[in-house]
Amino acid sequence: MGSMIERIASLQDYDQYRDLHWEGSFEDYLQIVQSRPEVTRNAFQRVYDMIVSAGVEEYVDNKKKLFRYNFFRDEHGGGRDAVFGLDIPLMRLVNVLKAAAEGYGPERRVILLHGPVGSSKSTIARLIKKGIEDYSRTPEGALYTYTWVDLEGTGMVSGKDETTFASPMNEEPLRLIPPEWRERAIAQLGLGNDRHKVVVEGELNPACRFIFKHLLDRYAGDWGKVIARHIRVRRLLLSEKDRVGIGTFQPKDEKNQDSTELTGDVNYRKIAEYGSDSDPRAFNFDGEFNIANRGIVEFVEVLKLDVAFLYDLLGASQEHRIKPKKFAQTDIDEVIIGHTNEAEYKKLLANEFMEALRDRTIKIDIPYITRLSEEVRIYAKSFGRGKVRGKHVAPHTLEVAAMWALLTRLEDPKKHNISLLQKLKLYDGKLLPGFTQDTVKELRKDTKREGMDGISPRFVQDMLSNALVRYEEPTLNPFMVMNEIERGLKAHSLITSDEQRKRYTDLIGVVRREYEEIIKNEVQRAISADESEIAKLAANYVDNVRAHTLKEKVKNRYTGRDEEPDERLMRSIEEKIEIAESRKDDFRREIMNFIGALALEGKKFSWNTNDRLRRALELKLFEDKKDTIKFTSIVSNVMDRETQEKIDAVKTRLMRDFGYDEISAQNVLEYVSSIFARGDVKG
C-alpha cells in the first residue's frame, strides 16, 4: 500500500509547489517588484498580456491585414473551447483590452459580448477566465497579495487561536503604502522600467484599513514597524472554483435577487465577536465583485439584471468602486465582461432609463461563422475522425451540415448575379471564374445583418447526435444528416414563421445537389486516377496549345511528321469545363501565361498545377474510360469478373484518396452509378 502512495507522490513537482506557495516579508516583495515590475500590473494589463503571450499570427484576407490570436485556439485545454472563424470580432475585443491596459478609457467600461444564441459568447468569456487562472500559475503571470500576521494581543482578532487576517479582497501589497507618499516611494526605490511602469491606484478595503489604522496608532504612527511586524506577502493563485480573482454572476428571478450577492453582506455570527455590524471585520467580502478583485467577473445574460444590480455595475465599471452595505466605497481592480443575446439588447435600446448603462458599455458583436472551413472545425471537435466510437463518419458529412448552417446565415447577394452557394464558396476563399477578392469585399459590404441570423451550431450538433443514434448503420453519411435536419426543422423552437422554415428546408435541397456534384466529381476522379495516362494527355494538350498559340506545327510522336495542332483534341478537353468556342483562344493563352509565370519562379508545370485544366483533363479521361465500367451492373449488383475488378479498383481509390471506408465507398459508388446510368452527368 505504502509503495503505491509513494509512486503517486513521486509525480508531484515540489519545486513548482514551493514557487506557487511562496511567502515572504514586504521587503522581499519589494525586491521582487524591483526585478519584475510586471507583478504589479492591473487586471486589464494582465489579461491583455496573457492573450498576447500565447502568440499572434498576422495574415492578409481580402487585402486586409488581420491578426489571429493563438490564445483562442485553447491549445492549453486541448482545443475543447477553441473559437473558430471569429478573427475580426476577437481582434476588436483584444483591441479594447489593449486600450484599457494603456489606460485610454475602455477600462472604465463594461465589455458586452453581443450576438445570437450559440455564437461563442460564453465560450470566449470562459476561455478568458480559464486562461487568467492558468496564467497566474506561470512565472510571467505571477501576482501577490498579503496577510496580517501576529495579531494576538493587538485587539484585532477575536479569539486566541486567531493570529492572522488575510486580505479579504486579495489586494496588491503596494496599497499598504499610504497614497499621499506612494508615488514618491515608488520613484525613490526605482521600481519599474521602460516596459512596465509601477502604478498602484486605490486604497485598502475597509477591513484592512481598519486594522492598519489601529496598528498605526499602536506603534505611534511608525509605518515601518507595522509592516515589518504584521505583514506577510504571498503568491496569489486565481481560481474560479475557490472564488479567488474570478467571479461569475448569473441572474435569478427578480424575487430572489439581492445586490449583496455582488458586494458582500454582514456576517451575523461575527457581530457577537466584534460587537457591531459596522465593524468591517464582521463583514463578508464575498460578493462577486469582491472575490473577482485582481481578475475577472463575468455577467451571464447581463441585461436580465434587476435595476438595483445595474447601479452597482455602473459604479464598478466607471469608478472602479463598489459600495458594500454600511461601509465607504471600496476600490476594485477587475475586468467586467458581460454577454447577452439580441432580444435583451433590443430591450436595452428601447428603455430610456438605461441610458447610463448604454453609455458605459462597449458592445462587441459576436456573429455566427460565415466561413465554411471554420464551421466544419466546430463539428470536427466532437464528430471528427476517431471521435465517434463504433461508427465511421463518411467524407463530407460534417461539410454538408456546415454548408447548410452557413447558407441559413448568409444574405442573398444583391449584386454580381451570383447564387448563395457561390457566395459561400467565395467567402471560404475559393476561386470562381470572373470573381476577385474585391468582389468578396463588396459582397460583405452590401450586407446588413449577415451572421446575426440563421441556425446556430448547437442545432446542427444536435442533429448530428440524433443521426448517430437513429441510424444503426456503421457509417454515418450526409444523406442521413440532411434527413435529420429536415425532421428537426419541423420542431425547431427558434423558427418563428412558416416562410423562414420553408427557406431553410429549400436550402437542404441546394446542399443535397451540391453534395451530389461533389461525389460525382470524386467518383469521376477515382475512375480517371491513372496519373501516367492523365500526365500523357496533359503533355499532348500543352504541346498542341503551344503550337496553336505560336502558330507552329506539332511533331507527331509516332510518325515524326510535323502536323497542324489537333483542334479536335483541344476542344474535347476544353468543352469539359464549358469553355465556349469564342473563348478558346483566351483560355489557351491563359494556360501558356500560367506555364510561363511558373517558369519565371523556377517552378515546373504539372497537369494538376492549374485547377481548371486538372478538372478538364480528369473529365476527359473519365469520358474516355467510363464506358469500360458498366454502371447499370453496379446498380443491379450483377456484374462480370472484369467489371468487378474495375469497380474494386475504384473503391480502393475512394478509400485511399478521399477517406471513405468500405461501406461508404460502396454506398457512394452505387448512388453515383444510378445517376450515371440515367445519363445525368454534369461536367
Q: Residue for cell digits 500543352?
A: 542
Mean pLDDT of the chain: 88
Whether the per-residue pLDDT at 682 is higher than 60: the answer is no
* DSSP-derived secondary structure letter, 475: E
Mean pLDDT of 623-634: 64
The answer to whether 221 touches 227, Cβ cutoff 8 Å, is: no
User: What does the pLDDT look like over 401-422, one tens digit per residue?
Assistant: 999 999 999 999 887 688 999 9
- Statement: residue 632 has pLDDT above 60: no
Q: Is the pLDDT of residue 221 over 60?
A: yes
CB 293 within 8 Å of CB 145: no
| Cα-Cα end-to-end distance for the chain | 72
What DSSP string runs through 30-68? Answer: HHHHHH-GGGG--HHHHHHHHHHHT-EEEEEETTEEEEE
Q: What is the CA radius of gyration of the chain?
A: 34
Strand order of the sheet with strand 110-114? Answer: 246-249, 296-300, 335-340, 110-114, 361-365
Nearest to 569 by CA among 538, 592, 591: 538
Q: What angle do CA 508, 512, 513 make, to 5 degrees?
A: 120
Grid cell, residue 270, equals 461575527
Report the distance separating Cα 401 and Cα 372, nearest Å: 10
pLDDT (tens digit per residue) in 62-77: 778 889 999 999 988 8
Q: Which residue has the cell 428546408?
A: 505
Write the burial class of residue 272 (CB in 10 Å: 0-12 exposed, 13-18 middle, 19+ buried).
Answer: exposed
Q: Given pLDDT bands bounded at 50, 70 and 90, which one contains residue 179?
A: very high
Q: Is the pLDDT of residue 325 over 60?
A: yes
Helix (H, G, I), strand (E, B) or coil at 607: coil
pLDDT tens column, 292-317: 999 999 999 888 777 767 778 888 99
Residue 312's pLDDT is 84
CA 292 to mean position of chain CA atoms = 24
In the predicted structure, residue 333 carries a pLDDT above the cut 90: yes
Residue 683: pLDDT band by 50, 70, 90 thresholds?
A: very low
Give per-residue pLDDT as tens, 261-285.
889 888 888 887 787 878 888 899 9
Average pLDDT over residues 556-561: 72
- Percentages helix, strand, coil for the chain (3-state, rounded to 5) are 55, 10, 35
For 218-227, 269-278, 453-462, 581-590, which range has the lowest pLDDT when averaged over its residues?
A: 269-278
Q: Could you tell me which of 334, 309, 335, 336 has the C-alpha nearest to residue 323?
A: 309
pLDDT at 633 over 60: no
Distance of CA 434 to the CA centre of its chain: 32
Tell me what pLDDT residue 182 has: 94
pLDDT tens-digit map of 484-525:
999 999 888 778 788 999 999 999 999 999 999 999 888 888
3-state secondary structure of 593: helix
* 8 A C-beta contact, residue 280 and residue 325: no
For the entire predicted model, the pTM comes to: 0.85
pLDDT (tens digit per residue) in 356-373 = 888 889 999 999 999 999
Q: What is the pLDDT of residue 681?
A: 47
Q: What is the mean pLDDT of residues 466-494?
A: 91
Rounded average pLDDT over 242-251: 92
Residue 676 predicted with pLDDT over 80: no
pLDDT at 567 over 60: yes
- How far is 564 from 366, CA to CA, in rounded Å? 61
